[in-house]
Amino acid sequence: MRRKRFTKNDDDEDDVIYPPPPPTPPKPPKQLADFKVNIYVRSKLDAESSITPQRCRVVTLSAFTSQICTKLPLELRNQIYDELMDTETMYKIERSSRESLRDFPTCSTIQDKEDTPVIIRPHLVYPQFANEVVARFFEGYKYFGVQSPRDIGPFFNTEFFGMGLKATETPLSALRVTGYLDQDDWDFINIATLAKDFEPLLAQNVRKWEDFKLTVVLVSKAYLLLDETDRNVLATRLHEVLQQLKRFIEISRMEKGSLKILLETRYGYDKSLVKNRDQNLEWWKVRVRHVARRISFEEDGSTVIPKP
């Protein structure tokens, strides 16, 4: 390649031969972690920049996440979503829900919009990307909880993040259902509707019982029941609850699912209710008497020595 080199005197010219420029090295392939870095770093830089208008940030993130959704298969997209959702991000997604995910239907703590992770903001990322991230969150989050069996249905029909996505549209990994046995509790279990309250668990949201963990916690103030009559009333309600849940226990056993039912009091607890579901009422009267004396039982029925 010949180029003209000009000296101080423009009339003097020399022809100098320069070597060709070196070839541009090929770009290394992007790893899954690069997607996480690009999303967070790019959004943070654009957010802190006083020169780049906000519209540019929206277009950049939307185009970037749009290519992920349109050019990659679902298997690779799920790997990207798993890479994005570390412990801190999972916690922020949980806190950004309008209703509490751990203690439904109580309201969640009101968060500043800036605390919501960028990856679930539909106005910043491609809408399909945000929906798939939330769906992946539902599959991996293990602390879903409702205050009462009657809240199971409303829980599955609630749009927690305002995107139109409900828990009925994606399988859950776990759910904890709390039920109060004492009639003086404001939200005690209604035996007449208990089986119907658990019906939503048999819907399409639980596609694989072996991947779903259901925990039913029956709460009572048995340690205060010093009168034998009160203990017998509690034993009767406990026996009735197990009879109503027998269908779900059998389905979980056939589908190799994980189901735990435990009686929880302030001091003593019994984790072996599933194991002893076929015991008669007289047996449960004796059992409640033991629990009221602060004796605990493990899942296999073994006794835990109470602490002095």
What residues does each domain of the chain span?
Answer: 30-304
Q: Rounded to an integer, what distance in angstroms lies between the CA atom of residue 26 and that of residue 28?
A: 6
ω into residue 105 within 30 of 0, thus cis? yes
Q: What pLDDT, on a 0 to 100 scale, did the predictor assign at position 280?
A: 93
Q: What pLDDT, on a 0 to 100 scale, did the predictor assign at position 106?
A: 84
Per-residue pLDDT tens digits for 35-78: 544 554 444 444 444 444 444 444 578 888 999 999 999 999 99
Going from the C-alpha of 12 to that of each of 1, 2, 17, 116, the distances in angstroms are 20, 16, 17, 67
What is the band of 167 on the pLDDT scale with cuts at 50, 70, 90?
confident
Which position has the higher pLDDT, 191 or 207?
191
Q: What pLDDT, on a 0 to 100 scale, did the predictor assign at position 113?
A: 53
Check residue 136 and give left, alpha or beta (phi > 0: left; psi -120 to 50: alpha): alpha
Per-residue pLDDT tens digits for 264-284: 887 788 999 999 999 999 999
Q: What pLDDT, on a 0 to 100 scale, did the predictor assign at position 273?
A: 93
Which position has the higher pLDDT, 32 or 236?
236
Q: What pLDDT, on a 0 to 100 scale, did the predictor assign at position 86?
A: 86
Q: What pLDDT, on a 0 to 100 scale, did the predictor assign at position 79?
A: 92
Q: What pLDDT, on a 0 to 100 scale, did the predictor assign at position 28?
A: 53
On average, the pLDDT of the chain sits at: 79
Q: Rounded to an integer, what distance in angstroms lies between the CA atom of residue 166 and that of residue 157?
A: 6
Question: CB–CB of 137/196 below 8 Å?
Answer: no
What is the band of 198 on the pLDDT scale with cuts at 50, 70, 90?
very high
Per-residue pLDDT tens digits for 108-152: 655 555 578 888 988 889 999 999 999 899 888 889 999 999 999
Q: What pLDDT, on a 0 to 100 scale, did the predictor assign at position 294?
A: 81
Q: What pLDDT, on a 0 to 100 scale, did the predictor assign at position 140?
A: 87
Q: Which residues pair with 258 in a beta bridge?
A: 213
Per-residue pLDDT tens digits for 74-99: 999 999 999 988 888 888 888 888 78
Question: CB–CB of 85/133 below 8 Å?
Answer: yes
Which position has the higher pLDDT, 305 or 121?
121
Q: What pLDDT, on a 0 to 100 scale, did the predictor assign at position 7?
A: 47
